Chains A and B, each alone.
Chain A
Amino acid sequence: MNESTPPKEERMAALSGLGTSRKRVEDARFTQGKGNYVDDMKMPGMLFGDFVRSPYAHARIKSINTEAALALPGVHAVLTAADLEPLGLHWMPTLAGDKQMVLADGKVLFQGQEVAYVVADDRYIADDGIQAVVVEYEELPVLVDPFKAELDDAPVLREDIADQSEGAHGPRRHPNHIFTWESGDRAATEAVLSEAEVVAEEMIYYHRTHPCPLETCGCVASMDKVNGKLTVWGTFQAPHAVRTVASLISGIAEHNIRIVSPDIGGGFGNKVGVYPGYICAIVASIVTGVPVKWVEDRMDNLMATAFARDYWMHGKISATKEGKITGLWCHTTADHGAFDACADPTKFPAGFMNICTGSYDIPTAYLAVDGIYTNKAPGGVAYRCSFRVTEAAYFIERMIEVLAIKLGMDAADLRVKNFIQKDQFPYQSALGWEYDSGDYHTAWSKALAAVDYEGLRAEQAERLAAFNRGETRKLIGIGLSHFTEIVGAGPVKNCDILGLGMFDSCEIRIHPTGSAIARLGTISQGQGHATTFAQILASEIGIPAEDITLEEGDTDTAPYGLGTYGSRSTPVAGAATAMAGRKIRAKAQMIAAYLLEVHDNDVEWDVDRFVVKGAPERFKTMKEIAFASYSQAIPGVEPGLEAVSYYDPPNMTYPFGAYICVMEIDTDTGTTEIRQFYALDDCGTRINPMIIEGQVHGGLTEALAIALGQEIAYDEQGNVTTGTLMDFFIPTAWETPNYQTDFTETPSPHHPIGAKGVGESPNVGGVPAFSNAVHDAFKSFGLTQSHMPHDHWRIWKIANSLGLHD
């Protein structure tokens, strides 16, 4: 090192690379209202399209009269299924191998379903047009209970496929049955259960809820008739997949379609699917020759675009008397609504629900999932989780508690007894996954110590005694959760969406003066990609993060990728970024060696430069190398400094964590107060601790909402009763408790930088922690299971049914 070379630590700090709590570069514009969202877009001549929606959950359409609407000044067109049929667009394929009506074709199957599309000068006139469309309905019997779907007198919902005994995922046994999906060894599991010393059995319901992103779904479609190019700006979590699907269903050549995701105001899975609004805006733009915008309002969003969960999970878990788990059995009845529009990899119609053995070494297991049609909105997306992983985590973390009650054991001890041991990784689960790495015992002990678990139990016992003496009406609940996620879908050999392999990509260009631009196949919806991916690159290529621009979401410029959901950006695109960076570095090494007049192998990487081995005063910084690549003729090396990497992950990653919730519960009013929430996350290598903490806070707050009140509820007639934010619970700062975050760091052995992904962990692990706290408070009065959401009246109902009100 010569005198002009700053010390290594200083040079590393200057990069703001891996491990730095770099401030989010996105925030300057978001906090000043300078984001650019779909609804901010204004284009000359742009029209607005909006839907006539069904007030009924199940009805035949006898007629649609659009005359009065068309007569309104400013209304340009009213599309119905009859108009879309000649184009073959009155139905569209779903991501789950089913098809969905774009506009009601003869009948409606859920409240809020799209019936007709009114195109007008602006959204005000469009709404007037909607009121003027006259639809004559004939009401049909409504099916809201999936357990009644296969009864003799059940109405047949999907007449279009009523006689098809084979669906996208195998045999269908009833017109309202979609698929049966199995995983594991049924016979062996049932044998284990029948011989077990102890078996606990319970029905665990994870209710229907909704991702409800701050920004609703929407798009602007613009067909340029001169050059034949269709551009769609939209709230797309997977813009490239949307382009391919749009090309396949419209017949427009893929190079003539450009999909752009501008700033997205939260997605949480709600923006993965393809919605009638997109198709109708595209058709309307083709018909009218001008751009057409469609943006949902909040009620549309809650009622019609993708919901999440709605899994009835019937579980049996067996163990020895000492508490060693021997087997797990689960049958899930999955309420998919009117169309199977889940967003799962093709071969996984119930997502990765078969991660339901959780953090435990369970030798034998079996899972079956039956998908059922009901008169509810379609969806079933991964709301801030990898595909159905939050359902799986909730199931196993409830079953552990139920088993602990049956065994009379402390639930924390039961977990310790059954955790997969550190030296068992990579661990083959009974349901077919290979867990990459983990150290559950360390995380768990750290968590218990941090909250003084023994002390809490003692305090809880004292409180209970005081309650029984009539001195207080409040109980304490201690909610435990140790979750294991499976994220980063996924290896192309078994993960695809509509046949598209779930790899991802990164393309890097280093500019002559040593700054750079990187483009990825993913798309940030608030996760802070522009901040964190630049940090990965900074560490890989020695260019300060602040000198790296990050771009995503424009299919004309970004490399192909499958988008952002299921915590896949860091595990897949993050890996592609590191790999592309390494390609840059490999070329830079050749250039450096040439400039330093030594052999390639005689230079070595040192933070932001290549130095001659054994002669640290001789070096070339990345900045110098970049300039040389554009300014010098280097024999055998192409000019420029660019790289692209398409990364097919060899495995999923398995983040995990230990969460503990301490809750005060008022048995008279059903109100709750979170006294303490401790969240330890292990997401492998930590790229930006501050962003991790932000993600954990946000995800925990969603988990709190889901566990304590957030639901999409239907009445007997299939009316949505929670369709506004008055009833659909979104916590404000007031309801949000203080979170205590912590971590352990167990890198993924197969990921280039060891990162696993964290954005979804807090939702996955948080829900069982909150819910277990409620259950735990009432455990000594005999409660084993009470379904979420645990809002005031349902908690009151628990207390009431346990005889705690005199």
Chain B
Amino acid sequence: MIASAFEYHKPDTVDGVVSLLSKWGDDARVIAGGHSLIPVMKQRMTDISHLIDLGGIAELKGISIDGDKINIGAMTTQHELIASEALAKAAPLIREASLQIADPQVRYLGTIGGNVANGDPANDMPGLMQTLDATYYLTGPGGSREVKARDFYEAAYFTAREDEEILTAISFAKPSGGFAYEKQKRKIGDYATAAAGVMITIEGGKCKAASVALTNLSDTPVYCAAAVDALVGSSLDDATIKTAVKAAVDASDPVADTRGPVDFKKHVAGVIVKKAITSAVARA
């Protein structure tokens, strides 16, 4: 349980990171909070010769709320997300979800950037970003570009990010309406058995807009378009919610692991999605 030797770099600009990544290619990896990366290194499941610490780059940190747009720097920790009163007011869903990640010790170090860039389907924030329809900002040797969170995840640990790129920030429109992030886990510090993020806007007794996404129920986070279609325009009656829940469960594709077999996970997914929708509707 000890990582192999590596060179440690701590540049103070994004350009500095990109040039190191370009130079060392596959042998290099950026480290943010290290709470996903270091365990993997310690088990020697990955061999990294050059570790580039993003901790020295001021521009990667911070939360800004600009009118309707919320921007969060990649190196903002989960603890900082929870602690920000402004963010809690503008997008309370973030605090609700962040409080369900790991434990305070992990959250002091774990970052939003690391959580969404990691590509692990067990992470909660990728699913959350599907719910929020967030945009990721990437910078690489060829400059900067934007990728929608809903287009970012390809398979477990495979994302639209190129090896020489880093994620600098995420942004999303200030959400409105009701929201909920529901998660079932075995204990504090565990990843989800099943989790779901939901947003619902109601106007004139009808669902005007909705968003439904799942965590750890497939090899990528799942945005449930069919569930959203079922909800939008409806009066959110029991039958509609039932249809939406079924659509979400149909969109899931969990694998058996120590948390349980597939039929169990699908069943729990249904319960969790229903809880999240019901609670979002109640808050809308």
**Looking at B2, B184, B188, which has the most chain A CB atoms within 10 Å of its CB?**
B2
CB distance A793 to B190 under 8 Å? Answer: no
CB distance A124 to B5 under 8 Å? Answer: yes
Choose one: B187, B191, B263, B267; the contact of A729 (CB below 8 Å): B187
The chain A residue sitting closest to B42, CB to CB, is A297
Mark the stretch among A201-209, A542-550, A663-671 that contacts chain B.
Answer: A663-671
Choose one: B4, B188, B191, B259; the contact of A793 (CB below 8 Å): B259
Q: Does B264 sit within 8 A of A, measured CB to CB?
A: yes
CB distance B258 to A727 under 8 Å? Answer: yes
Mark the stretch among A456-464, A731-739, A751-759 that contacts chain B.
Answer: A731-739
Contacts A127-B2, A297-B1, A735-B187 given; indicate if A793 touches B271 (C-beta within 8 A).
Answer: no
Q: How far, in whole Å, are A298 and B193 apart by their CA atoms in the complex?
A: 24
CB distance A726 to B190 under 8 Å? Answer: yes
The chain B residue sitting closest to A666, CB to CB, is B271
Q: How far, in whole Å, are A732 and B267 apart by their CA atoms in the complex?
A: 27
Contacts A713-B258, A793-B259 given; indicate if A668 touches B267 (C-beta within 8 A).
Answer: yes
CB distance A298 to B271 under 8 Å? Answer: no
- Which of chain A's residues have a CB closer than 8 A to the CB of B141? none
Choose one: A124, A732, A797; the contact of B264 (CB below 8 Å): A797
- Which of chain A's residues have a CB closer than 8 A to the CB of B4? 127-128, 131
Q: How far, in whole Å, are A152 and B152 apart by their CA atoms in the complex?
A: 54
Q: Does A278 sit within 8 A of B, measured CB to CB?
A: no
Q: Report A698-733 residues with CB < 8 Å from chain B CB.
A: 709, 713, 721-722, 726-727, 729, 731-732
Q: How far, in whole Å, are A722 and B267 apart by their CA atoms in the complex?
A: 23
CB distance B1 to A669 under 8 Å? Answer: no
| Minimum C-beta distance from A800 to chain B (A) | 8
- Which of chain B's residues have a CB closer than 8 A to the CB of A352? none
CB distance A796 to B189 under 8 Å? Answer: no
- Which of chain A's residues have a CB closer than 8 A to the CB of B272? 669
- Which of chain A's residues have a CB closer than 8 A to the CB of B261? 793
| Minimum C-beta distance from B99 to chain A (A) | 12
Q: Does A792 sit within 8 A of B, measured CB to CB?
A: yes
Q: How far, in whole Å, are A298 and B2 apart by their CA atoms in the complex?
A: 12
Q: Report A116-169 residues with CB < 8 Å from chain B CB.
A: 123-124, 127-128, 131
Q: Report B40-60 residues with CB < 8 Å from chain A CB.
A: 44
CB distance B187 to A731 under 8 Å? Answer: yes
Q: Does A299 sit within 8 A of B, measured CB to CB?
A: yes
Q: Does A613 sit within 8 A of B, measured CB to CB?
A: no
CB distance A722 to B258 under 8 Å? Answer: yes
- Which of chain B's residues have a CB closer than 8 A to the CB of A729? 186-187
Q: How far, in whole Å, are A670 and B103 apart by their CA atoms in the complex?
A: 23
- Which of chain A's residues have a CB closer than 8 A to the CB of B103? 732
CB distance B259 to A792 under 8 Å? Answer: yes
CB distance A671 to B187 under 8 Å? Answer: no
Q: Report B257-273 residues with CB < 8 Å from chain A CB.
A: 258-261, 263-264, 267-268, 271-272
Q: How far, in whole Å, are A131 and B44 apart by their CA atoms in the complex?
A: 9
**Looking at A123, A298, A726, A800, which has the most chain B CB atoms within 10 Å of its CB?**
A726
Contacts A124-B2, A124-B5, A297-B1 given; indicate if A796 touches B187 (C-beta within 8 A).
Answer: no
Q: How far, in whole Å, are A801 and B120 apart by their CA atoms in the complex?
A: 33
Q: Does A805 sit within 8 A of B, measured CB to CB?
A: yes
Count the A residues whose beta carbon is within 8 Å of the partner chain — how many?
30
Q: Report A31-82 residues with CB < 8 Å from chain B CB.
A: none
CB distance A792 to B1 under 8 Å? Answer: no
Q: Does A791 sit within 8 A of B, measured CB to CB?
A: yes
The chain B residue sitting closest to A127, CB to CB, is B2
CB distance B260 to A298 under 8 Å? Answer: no
Q: How far, in whole Å, are A447 and B271 apart by their CA atoms in the complex?
A: 37
Q: How far, in whole Å, are A729 and B259 apart by their CA atoms in the complex?
A: 11
Contact residues of B: prevailing secondary structure: loop
Q: How large is the interface on B (under 10, 10 to 19, 20 to 34, 35 or more residues)?
A: 20 to 34
- Which of chain A's residues have a CB closer than 8 A to the CB of B189? 726, 732
Q: How far, in whole Å, are A800 and B189 apart by their CA atoms in the complex?
A: 27
Choose one: A123, A735, A792; the contact of B260 (CB below 8 Å): A792
Q: How far, in whole Å, are A797 and B5 apart by their CA atoms in the complex?
A: 46
- Which of chain B's residues have a CB closer than 8 A to the CB of A721? 258
| Minimum C-beta distance from A301 to chain B (A) | 11
CB distance A732 to B2 under 8 Å? Answer: no
Q: How far, in whole Å, are A746 and B268 apart by their CA atoms in the complex?
A: 48
- Which of chain B's residues have a CB closer than 8 A to the CB of A670? 264, 268
Contact residues of A: prevailing secondary structure: loop
The chain B residue sitting closest to A722, CB to CB, is B258
CB distance B271 to A669 under 8 Å? Answer: yes
- Which of chain B's residues have a CB closer than 8 A to the CB of A805? 267
| Minimum C-beta distance from B33 to chain A (A) | 17
Q: How far, in whole Å, are A668 and B275 apart by their CA atoms in the complex?
A: 12
CB distance A709 to B188 under 8 Å? Answer: no
| Minimum C-beta distance from A704 to chain B (A) | 11
CB distance B186 to A796 under 8 Å? Answer: no
CB distance B264 to A796 under 8 Å? Answer: yes
CB distance B267 to A796 under 8 Å? Answer: yes
Contacts A123-B2, A732-B103 given; indicate if A796 touches B258 (C-beta within 8 A).
Answer: no
Contacts A713-B258, A726-B190, A793-B260 given; indicate if A128 touches B5 (C-beta within 8 A).
Answer: yes
CB distance A299 to B1 under 8 Å? Answer: yes
Q: How far, in whole Å, are A336 and B50 apart by their CA atoms in the complex?
A: 45
| Minimum C-beta distance from A616 to chain B (A) | 60
- Which of chain A's residues have a CB closer than 8 A to the CB of B187? 709, 729, 731-732, 734-735
Q: How far, in whole Å, are A792 and B263 apart by their CA atoms in the complex?
A: 13
Q: How far, in whole Å, are A729 and B187 apart by their CA atoms in the complex?
A: 8
Contact indicator per residue, chain B 1-39, by CB within 8 Å of chain A (1) or not (0): 110110000000000000000000000000000000000
The chain A residue sitting closest to B191, CB to CB, is A726
| Minimum C-beta distance from B241 to chain A (A) | 15
- Which of chain B's residues have a CB closer than 8 A to the CB of A128? 4-5
Contact indicator per residue, chain A 731-773, by CB within 8 Å of chain B (1) or not (0): 1101100000000000000000000000000000000000000
The chain B residue sitting closest to A671, CB to CB, is B184
- Which of chain A's residues have a CB closer than 8 A to the CB of B44? 127, 131
Q: How far, in whole Å, are A128 and B6 apart by their CA atoms in the complex?
A: 12
**Looking at A735, A791, A793, A796, which has the most chain B CB atoms within 10 Å of its CB?**
A793
The chain A residue sitting closest to B185, CB to CB, is A792
CB distance B268 to A796 under 8 Å? Answer: yes
CB distance B271 to A668 under 8 Å? Answer: yes
The chain A residue sitting closest to B260, CB to CB, is A793
CB distance B184 to A792 under 8 Å? Answer: yes
- Which of chain B's residues have a CB closer than 8 A to the CB of A734? 187-188
CB distance A792 to B2 under 8 Å? Answer: no
Q: How far, in whole Å, are A792 and B44 apart by their CA atoms in the complex?
A: 31
Q: How far, in whole Å, are A727 and B191 apart by their CA atoms in the complex?
A: 10
**Looking at A713, A722, A732, which has the most chain B CB atoms within 10 Å of its CB?**
A732
**Looking at B1, B189, B190, which has the most chain A CB atoms within 10 Å of its CB?**
B1
- Which of chain A's residues have a CB closer than 8 A to the CB of B2? 123-124, 127
- Which of chain B's residues have a CB closer than 8 A to the CB of A793? 193, 259-261, 264
Q: How far, in whole Å, are A796 and B267 apart by their CA atoms in the complex?
A: 9
- Which of chain B's residues have a CB closer than 8 A to the CB of A731? 187
Q: Report A769-806 residues with CB < 8 Å from chain B CB.
A: 791-793, 796-797, 800, 805
- Which of chain B's residues have a CB closer than 8 A to the CB of A671? 184
- Which of chain B's residues have a CB closer than 8 A to the CB of A123? 2
**Looking at B4, B5, B258, which has the most chain A CB atoms within 10 Å of its CB?**
B258
Q: How far, in whole Å, are A713 and B260 apart by their CA atoms in the complex?
A: 13
| Minimum C-beta distance from A47 to chain B (A) | 15
The chain B residue sitting closest to A731, CB to CB, is B187
Q: How far, in whole Å, are A709 and B260 apart by their CA atoms in the complex?
A: 12
CB distance B186 to A709 under 8 Å? Answer: yes
Q: How far, in whole Å, are A796 and B270 apart by their CA atoms in the complex?
A: 14
What are the 4 tightest A-B residue pairs by CB atom distance, in nearest-first order?
A: A793-B260, A297-B1, A127-B2, A793-B264
Extra 5 A-B pairs, beta carbons < 8 Å, given A127-B4, A729-B186: A123-B2, A709-B186, A721-B258, A734-B187, A793-B260
Q: Can you offer 21 A-B residue contacts whose CB atoms are under 8 A?
A: A123-B2, A127-B2, A127-B44, A128-B4, A131-B4, A668-B268, A669-B268, A670-B268, A713-B258, A726-B191, A727-B258, A729-B187, A732-B187, A732-B189, A734-B188, A791-B186, A793-B193, A793-B259, A793-B261, A793-B264, A796-B268
